[in-house]
Amino acid sequence: MKRLVILGGGYGGLRIIERVLSPDLPDDVFITLVDRMPFHGLKTEYYALAAGTTPEAHLRVNFPSDPRLTVKYGEVTAVDLDEQVVNFANGDALSYDWLVIGLGCEDRYHDIPGADQFTCSIQTMGATRNTYMAINNVNPYGTVTVVGGGLSGVEMAAELRESRPDLNVRIIDRGPSILSPFPKKLQEYASQWFIEHEVQLVSMANVTGVEPGVVYNHNQPVPSDVIVWTAGIQANRIVRALPIETDNIGRAKLNQYHQIPTHPNVYVVGDCASTITAPSAQTAEIQGDQIALMLKKDIKGEEYPASLPPLKHKGFLGSLGKKEGFASMGKVSLVGQMARVIKSGQLWMYKKHMG
């Protein structure tokens, strides 16, 4: 018996399972998916759950059902690369012949005092539930501050503005404009949207500390009933603890086949993998396609291709509430209702396909 273990039922892990579970999979290969949740959570939409505009049930997708696939629920505590064993919080251990690590990312707090203790997160389903409850308990005329003006922060603030028009909403960002990695047209469109919807934009910020109900910008207190942290990510702590080479945010440095160079039977996918493209569901799925190809080569004992195609995105989509959005597709930037329709359609297609 040969065992393929996949840690994490996210976008990359599910893509690999979908591709590997083909009719030509040998009978002696068994696949085990490990996840802490009994379903795939649509992480790109967690902001809507936190804002209260989308119920949790709409963000759940069932894991694949196949007699060749076993799903194990549990909390991974460590991976022993030399012994080829995954260890769990309850004392269980799971051996593997091939391993895929797709455990996702965690918030990165940049060593800012109090940020990890006194802010809310949308990185996991559990954390997002807590964020929803915290925001839901804010009285009218209260204030919610979103720290970080990237895609997650922008979508969070916009959705919250539509969900709770009674609240004061602000975005604090260290750059000169929100959505700084995106084209100028999208930055300006989103900024104007927030101005028109009375969301305060604080640029060139320097968050120096967080206390209960207060975030400090350049050491000046900014009172807030709830503080939502979207100001950076880092690789899952399991990957950061591995005795391997990592980048500045703890992601595994890999060879061209998405393998840990010292342990080529271990692949890393998604936010745990150091790639030249920005972390995203799209990156994870493209990686997943390529890793599945390599795993099939491993399983059949076939030679690897000389190289793999570079990771190439089709574009990025973002929402500003339920009616407007923005998109960047190659050299084309799209804003307004059509961009939001495209994003909604893409989400519908994904859920229909995976379901």
Q: Which residue has the higher pLDDT, 1 or 117?
A: 117
Q: Among 230, 250, 282, give the residue marking a domain's end.
A: 230
Residues 122-170: tens digit of each pLDDT:
999 999 999 999 999 999 999 999 999 999 999 999 999 999 999 999 9
Domain carrying residue 214? 108-230
Do residue 138 and residue 159 come from a single domain? yes
Do residue 239 and residue 287 come from a single domain? yes
Q: How many separate domains does the chain show?
A: 2
Residues 251-278: tens digit of each pLDDT:
999 999 999 999 999 999 999 999 988 7
Q: Give CB contacts under 8 A, 24+ apart, made by 36-40.
A: 36/73, 36/74, 36/75, 37/9, 37/73, 37/125, 38/63, 38/71, 38/73, 39/9, 39/63, 40/9, 40/10, 40/14, 40/354
Residues 37-73: tens digit of each pLDDT:
999 999 999 999 999 999 999 999 999 999 999 999 9
Do residue 29 and residue 95 come from a single domain? yes
Do residue 226 and residue 240 come from a single domain? no
Q: Among 173, 195, 230, give the residue marking a domain's end.
A: 230
Whether residue 346 lies inside any domain: the answer is no
Q: Are 14 and 354 in contact (CB under 8 A)?
A: yes
Q: Are 154 and 179 in contact (CB under 8 A)?
A: yes
Do residue 87 and residue 130 come from a single domain? no
pLDDT of residue 355: 52
Whether residue 333 lies inside any domain: the answer is no
Whether residue 314 lies inside any domain: the answer is no
- Share in percent of the chain as helix, strand, coil (round to 5): 30, 30, 40
Q: What is the H or E stretch that residue 243 is in?
A: none
Q: Among 298, 322, 345, give the residue marking a domain's end.
A: 298
Residue 295's CB is within 10 A of a number of other CB atoms, namely 22
- pLDDT band (50, 70, 90) for residue 192: very high
Whether residue 41 lies inside any domain: the answer is no
Measured distance CA(63)–CA(61) in Å, rounded: 7
Do residue 236 and residue 277 come from a single domain? yes
